[in-house]
Amino acid sequence: MKSKKNSEVDIERKKPLLFHIGLVVSLAVVLIAFEWKTFDRTQSTLGQLKVDLEEEEMIPITKQEPPPPPPPPPPQTTIIEIVEDDEEIEEELEIMDTEIDENTEIDIVEFVEEVVEEPEIFTIVEEMPSFPGGEAELFKYLGSNIKYPAMARDAGIQGIVYVTFVVKEDGKISDVRVLRGVGGGCDEEAVRVVEKMPSWKPGKQRGKSVRVQYNLPIRFTLR
């Protein structure tokens, strides 16, 4: 026999929805049970604090009096020793006559400051100073005495170091310094070689040997 059931009132179709509603209600009841708090109505004695107020004892303020001033020092007494007229004095003081009249001669000593005049240094003269043997010997001397600095060689530094110095009246070299350098130890090496140079032929002005400032370029080239 075929069952006649209305599909709109079929409970099996709504079974999943009813299951979820029941699950939500159960969880809500459990949460309310955990959150429910009970309070003890017994009166707590923690809030009752008995304070006994005692009168504050007044401490008298003591006033510190300043110390009395020190007593004044005793007056100094001067002892006067009386010497009899008959007592002889061993040492006699010689009193010089310091009066000056129109006939008194006064020696005036004049201090003359000695001024040392330094010889003039020329830059251009009639006959310029020269290295013994000429420029060819100068280049030969530089080439055989200059040692290329290791720091400049490792760094690949090369260029021209301009050195200036003074050739004195006797041909000796002085006041050596670098005008423009390249670094890497080349400047110091150029000064060292110039300071060791032999005496030059001095420069002359009007037939007299004079001091001449000379500029020398020294080239450092890697090979």
Q: Give the mean pLDDT of 141-151.
A: 93
In a domain, 174, yes or no: yes
Model confidence over 197-211: pLDDT tens digits? 999 999 999 999 999
Per-residue pLDDT band for 103 (boundaries 50, 70, 90) equals: low
In a domain, 181, yes or no: yes
Q: Residue 104: how many CA atoms within 13 Å on its side-chain side? A: 7
Yes or no: say if 187 and 181 are a contact pair by the CB < 8 Å rule: yes
Give the CATH number of the domain where residue 135 resides.
3.30.1150
Query: What's the farthest any 2 CA atoms get from each other in the chain?
Result: 183
pLDDT of residue 51: 47
pLDDT of residue 211: 95
In a domain, 121, yes or no: no
Residue 190 belongs to domain spanning: 130-220
Cα of 196 vs its chain's centroid, Å: 37
Mean pLDDT, the chain, as a whole number? Answer: 78
Q: Which of 14-18, 40-44, 81-85, 179-183 has the lowest mean pLDDT?
A: 40-44
In a domain, 148, yes or no: yes
Q: Give the mean pLDDT of 171-197.
A: 95
For residue 80, pLDDT over 70 is answered with: no
Domain count, the chain: 1
In a domain, 30, yes or no: no
In a domain, 178, yes or no: yes
For residue 39, pLDDT over 60 is answered with: no
In a domain, 211, yes or no: yes
For residue 44, pLDDT over 80 is answered with: no
| Top-confidence residue, 174 or 86 | 174
In a domain, 90, yes or no: no
